[in-house]
Chains A and B, each alone.
Chain A
Amino acid sequence: GDSVTQMEGPVTLSEEAFLTINCTYTATGYPSLFWYVQYPGEGLQLLLKATKADDKGSNKGFEATYRKETTSFHLEKGSVQVSDSAVYFCALSDGQAGTALIFGKGTTLSVSS
């Protein structure tokens, strides 16, 4: 079945450092890809998404490009802030209406000043 693999954390960075969180997927069809962020004690918020190959999702300085040839959707940010500290989840949807998202295990990011 479909699956998502993302890099294990935690990732610890200093403020203004460059961030990459790797995410790869396995899917039989043409999935949509997502990054969600979860702040401590809260639910999930959609950070960005891409619905087809070569699409780039971006939001709040974060970017991810849907790479079909490498089945990847790596999350990047050029300069992280302390407020970016959270857990980041990569997820896919198989594109069928009414189906649930499949999540990776999450990567904890900790940014220090």
Chain B
Amino acid sequence: GAVVSQHPSRVICKSGTSVKIECRSLDFQATTMFWYRQFPKQSLMLMATSNEGSKATYEQGVEKDKFLINHASLTLSTLTVTSAHPEDSSFYICSALYRNTEAFFGQGTRLTVV
């Protein structure tokens, strides 16, 4: 099946700094990618839809200036958490649409802000 790679798998950063998370589709091109956030023992919350070559579409309540999404190529989308604070600590998961229909997920990134 199609492979989506997310990097890093774990990151610890200091409060106030920025962190970039990469999501790559390794063996297919993905026009659309999604970013989710998962709180402990809770479901995945869709943060934004990332379309190659255009601005991301953010879900209600998600700060687009804090969670910067760039989908610069058909195989790479990045999520940058700017001026991170402890409340941004979470598990972030990306997914990429294969042939614009089937979603494949990255391994997730555990972000800890100290």
A residues near B, CB below 8 A? 36, 41-46, 89, 93, 97-98, 100-101, 103-106, 108
The stretch among B63-71, B75-83, B99-107 that forms the contact with chain A is: B99-107
B35 closest partner in A (C-beta): A100
CB <8 Å contact, A104 and B31: no
CB <8 Å contact, B42 and A98: no
A contact face: mostly helix, strand, loop, or mixed: loop
CB <8 Å contact, A98 and B97: yes
The distance in angstroms between the C-alpha atoms of A103 and B47, with both chains bound, is 13
CB <8 Å contact, B49 and A100: yes
Does chain A have a CB within 8 A of B46?
Answer: yes
Q: A44-B44, A97-B100, A103-B43 are in contact. List 4 more A-B contacts (CB 8 A).
A: A42-B108, A98-B32, A100-B46, A105-B42
Least CB distance, B81 to chain A, in whole angstroms: 18
* From B44, B105, B110, contact of A41 by CB (8 A): B110
B residues near A, CB below 8 A? 1, 6, 31-32, 34, 41-44, 46, 49, 51, 93, 95, 97, 100-101, 103-108, 110
CB <8 Å contact, A45 and B44: no
Which interface residue of B44, B95, B108 has the most chain A CB atoms within 10 A?
B44
The distance in angstroms between the C-alpha atoms of A101 and B103, with both chains bound, is 8
CB <8 Å contact, A43 and B106: yes
* A-B interface pairs (CB < 8 A), number: 46
CB <8 Å contact, B43 and A42: no
Least CB distance, A43 to chain B, in whole angstroms: 4
CB <8 Å contact, B31 and A105: no
* Chain A positions within 8 Å of B44 at CB level: 44, 89, 103
The distance in angstroms between the C-alpha atoms of A101 and B41, with both chains bound, is 18
* Chain A positions within 8 Å of B49 at CB level: 98, 100
The distance in angstroms between the C-alpha atoms of A78 and B105, with both chains bound, is 27
* From A36, A41, A97, contact of B101 by CB (8 A): A97
* Chain A positions within 8 Å of B32 at CB level: 98
CB <8 Å contact, B43 and A105: yes
